[in-house]
């Protein structure tokens, strides 16, 4: 009888010892099913939390676990983190050991097997009930918001993956058309001459190349011609050469014609008048190309460079659009208007762009391929900018991010997100309100004065 009593007592203490060594019951926390393999992670208390955790890992079908660790990507002001589990195989496909998690927050579980790696995004503290979305319709704990999946459609919460996009920034301003001052021609003569006819030309007239501008009679030309005839009569080669050189220099024809298609800006000669050597008779502007001078606000000026594309729309013809590009940025800014002047060069097809007329100017600035989120996803708390990241269906965490340029309804993301993460693009107002009520933003989050893009 005494032997039986001591035997039972020994079995009792052995049972307690085995339980303390990990032989007791474990509760399921999370399951990962991918590529035909199911990994179940259990813990002694049904949770995985910051600090030490006793865990059990079951692999179906049984496979060898090379490594299991929790991974957190780098975030602003923080390097990546990696907390690895210490495991021992207790039977085929079953492992037990410990896992020390360094902090609450978003983690990715990574299970490295012989031939594949399984992953799952979670939020610590982690439990099966939190993943299932149990409890009330929404709850906030551990820095995130839980919401029952069946409520998501009712509340209109929509998510999209963060992707790289090839963005073009556009903005518009007003400009005015100017003559291309590099294409203004002065019509002069190289010898004094009488003007016998101006063919009815007038200032502001559009003339085509070859249009007669004036008929002239030059005494110097007549003298040079007489000198050539005399040299030829004498048969003196040297005199003939010099007479021809003089005529070539004077280069005056009886009728002077326009060298380009353009507008007569100035006419300084009239029929019966006299024009002296080197005097400007006409100034003609070639309007096959024109300049558009536009004033750009300081905030947009930093995007404009030499060669930036611009689309010009005349105010009197809103249906037409002409392409041009910035060829000069003026060095001085207007501090009163807070603008910078730029000059755009454009081809003037059909003389549609009339000098001194006002035009609308649309600038297109390629930003390039960048990581981007829709502007509807961004919440500005007043002290920091954030988005709501979907950790699991029904689990959303406010994530601070650093934004760059805005274009085509998207913001460039410089810090805080990675490609493939899902962010809330519709329903952010509801999540923001919930986060404020629950105090998820903390003292640095702002509270009040929120702006939803």
CA 106 – CA 71 distance, rounded (Å): 9
361: domain CATH number is 2.40.30.170
Contact 87, 65 (CB under 8 A): yes
**pLDDT tier at 75, thresholds 50, 70, 90:** low
Half-sphere exposure in the Cβ direction for 251 (13 Å, CA): 8
- Residue 140: what pLDDT? 40
What pLDDT does residue 31 have?
A: 92
In whole numbers, what is the pLDDT of the chain averaged over residues?
Answer: 82
Answer yes or no: do 303 and 175 share one domain: yes
- What gap in Å lies between CA 147 and CA 145, rounded to an integer? 7
| Domain of 119, in residue numbers | 20-131
Token pair 């606000």 is at which residue?
A: 297
Residue 63 domain flag: yes
Nearest to 189 by CA among 66, 281, 99: 281
- Would residue 2 count as lying in a domain? no
Pick the most confident of 39-53, 97-111, 115-129. 39-53
Residues 213, 199 contacting (CB under 8 angstroms)? yes
Are 361 and 377 part of one and the same domain? no
**Lowest mean pLDDT, pick from 10-14, 356-360, 378-382, 399-403:** 10-14
Indicate yes or no: pTM above 0.85.
Answer: no
Using a pLDDT cut of 90, give the percent of the chain over it: 36
* Domain edge (last residue) among 366, 400, 420: 366
Same domain? For 331 and 198 the reply is no
351 with 264, same domain: the answer is: no
The CATH code of the domain that includes 383 is 2.40.420.20
Of 349, 366, 383, the domain-final residue: 366
């Amino acid at each position: 009888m005494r032997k039986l009593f001591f035997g039972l007592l020994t079995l009792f203490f052995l049972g307690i010892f085995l339980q303390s060594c990990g032989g007791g019951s474990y509760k399921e926390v999370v399951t990962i099913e991918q590529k035909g393999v199911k990994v179940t992670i259990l813990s002694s208390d049904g949770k995985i939390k910051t600090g030490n955790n006793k865990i059990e890992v079951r692999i179906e079908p049984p496979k060898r676990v090379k490594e299991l660790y929790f991974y957190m990507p780098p975030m602003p002001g923080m390097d990546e983190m990696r907390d690895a589990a210490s495991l021992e195989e207790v039977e085929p496909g079953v492992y037990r050991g410990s896992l020390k998690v360094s902090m609450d927050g978003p983690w990715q579980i990574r299970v490295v097997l012989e031939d594949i790696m399984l992953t799952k995004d979670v939020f610590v503290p982690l439990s099966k009930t939190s993943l299932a979305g149990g409890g009330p319709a929404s709850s906030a704990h551990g820095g995130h918001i839980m919401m029952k999946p069946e409520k998501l459609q009712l509340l209109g919460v929509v998510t999209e993956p963060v992707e790289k996009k090839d963005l073009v920034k556009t903005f518009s301003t007003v400009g005015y058309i100017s003559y291309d001052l590099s294409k203004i021609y002065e019509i002069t003569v190289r010898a004094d001459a009488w003007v016998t006819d101006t063919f009815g030309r007038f200032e502001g007239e559009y003339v085509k190349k070859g249009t007669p501008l004036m008929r002239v009679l030059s005494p110097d030309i007549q003298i040079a011609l007489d000198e050539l005839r005399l040299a030829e009569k004498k048969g003196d080669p040297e005199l003939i050469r010099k007479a021809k050189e003089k005529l070539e220099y004077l280069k005056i024809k009886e009728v002077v014609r326009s060298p380009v298609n353009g507008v007569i800006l100035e006419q300084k000669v009239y029929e019966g008048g006299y024009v002296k050597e080197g005097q400007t008779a006409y100034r003609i502007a070639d309007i096959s190309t024109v300049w558009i001078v536009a004033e750009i606000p300081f905030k947009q000026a930093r995007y404009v460079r030499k060669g930036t594309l611009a689309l010009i729309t005349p105010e009197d013809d809103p249906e037409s659009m002409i392409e041009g590009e910035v060829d000069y940025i003026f060095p001085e800014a207007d501090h009163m208007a807070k603008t910078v002047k730029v000059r755009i060069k454009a081809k003037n097809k059909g003389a549609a762009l009339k000098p001194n007329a006002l035009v609308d100017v649309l600038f297109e600035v390629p930003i390039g391929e960048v990581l981007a989120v829709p502007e509807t996803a961004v919440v500005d708390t007043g002290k920091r900018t954030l988005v709501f990241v979907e950790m699991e269906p029904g689990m959303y965490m406010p994530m601070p991010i650093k934004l760059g340029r805005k274009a085509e309804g998207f913001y460039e993301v410089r810090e805080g997100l990675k490609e493939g993460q899902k962010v809330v693009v519709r329903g952010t107002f509801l999540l923001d309100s919930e986060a404020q009520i629950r105090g998820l933003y903390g003292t640095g989050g702002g509270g009040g004065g929120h702006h939803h893009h």
